[in-house]
Structure 1
Amino acid sequence: STPVRLRIPSIRVDAPMIRLGLRSDGSLAVPPAENRNVVSWYKDGTPPGAKGTALVVGHVDNAQGRSVFYNLGSLAKGSTIEVDRRDGHTAVFSLDAIEVYANKDFPDQRVYGPSQNASLRLITCGGGFSKTTGYQGNVVAYAHLTGVR
């Protein structure tokens, strides 16, 4: 079922989810930067809660300040991530790990590759910041499905 909302209680995330695809360069489209409390789900991929790897993207900040995934890197292993779906169910995930990658070392297959289980990847910018080129890396949260309610 299509995801409609993401909640991460421990870092006070409660955000609507929009469907986005790929940019013309083949990279994941990201939510509009001016909306600081919205995340996007890769619409041509696995929906959260289904078998496979679901991808969700959100901004860490914008020109006005902190955005939805500002505290993503502070999540602790075992943190709960909830995804409300259009079918009225909520997919509940448990955080396995947080990793930070330099743009040049981003492990596409590890992050985007298929999973034998229902997996979730939350992705935002991270690492160092340059005024000319922006963030130099990405923060990726890895989680697995623990239940559906």
Structure 2
Amino acid sequence: MRRISNTAIGAVTVTALCAGAWLLTTDARTHAPPQPSAAEARTGPGGEPPAAGALPPSPPNRIRIPSIHVNAPLMGLALTRDGSLDVPPAAKPNLAGWYEAGTTPGERGTAVVAGHVDNADGPAVFYDLGALRKGSRIEVDRRDGGTAVFSVDAVEVYDARHFPDRKVYGPASRPELRVITCGGGYSRTTGYQGNVVVFAHLTATR
């Protein structure tokens, strides 16, 4: 597998995830997905919680987030011509993707997973991502038969115009995971105005 740094991803904010087609036909005030509270953001500087030892590279097959009832297969994602991260097919609402030219989940570095918040028919795989809390568990089944278990460190939302590429995609000295979907404000003209990002680190393997 050809490996490249996540810094190859441009100012992405996974734009194609963010049309919000379902909200165009419903009341956005009552059907908008949950957004993270300030309490789930990263706190000030301090020591990082301990992480489990890094795993060798192995592509992931499935992601599970029990607290928000996510159990979804994973497909490989590449970059589009403009350098942004491609997205899974919108017609498959329970499908997520991982950036396959970067770090594999469980390996040392920053692995990236992305999925739709909704499609034209209703909520999709990461509709409830903004409701995730610090300490929540994320499990990623790997092709080598193992499972990488991550603990959520923070859940934040960013405006697309000020998306912090380096903070989200930058290298890490331990095994970390980012899970990304659309969020922030919503406009019927432009769709979602930003992205929800979950920051997590590896805590166990099985």
1:134, CA displacement in angstroms? 1.4
What's 1:68 paired with?
Answer: 125
1:7 aligned residue (50, 64, 73): 64
Q: Hey, which bits of structure 1, 4+ residues long, moved more than 4 A?
A: none
What's 1:108 paired with?
Answer: 165
What's 2:95 paired with?
Answer: 38
1:99, CA displacement in angstroms? 0.4
Measured in 2, the distance between the counterparts of 1:58 and 1:14 equals: 12
Q: Report 1 or 2 for greater relative contact order, CA contacts < 8 Å, sequence distance ≥ 6.
A: 2
Measured in 2, the distance between the counterparts of 1:127 and 1:41 equals: 22
Measured in 1, the distance between the counterparts of 2:60 and 2:202 equals: 14
Using the size of structure 1 for normalisation, the TM-score is: 0.99
Aligned-residue Cα RMSD (Å) equals 0.6
Listed as ranges, the matches of 1:1-149 within 5 Å are: 1-149=58-206
Deviations 1:84-139 (Å, cap 9, x if unpaired)? 00000000000000000000010000000000000000000001112221110000
Percent pairwise identity: 64
What's 2:46 paired with?
Answer: none
Deviations 1:4-45 (Å, cap 9, x if unpaired)? 000000100000000011011100011111110011000000
Using the size of structure 2 for normalisation, the TM-score is: 0.72
Equivalent residue letter for 2:83:
G
Measured in 2, the distance between the counterparts of 1:42 and 1:26 equals: 12
Q: Which runs of 5+ in 2 are unaligned?
A: 1-57
Pairs aligned (count): 149
User: Which structure features the higher share of helix residues?
Assistant: 2
Q: State which structure, 1 or 2, has the greater radius of gyration over its C-alpha atoms.
A: 2
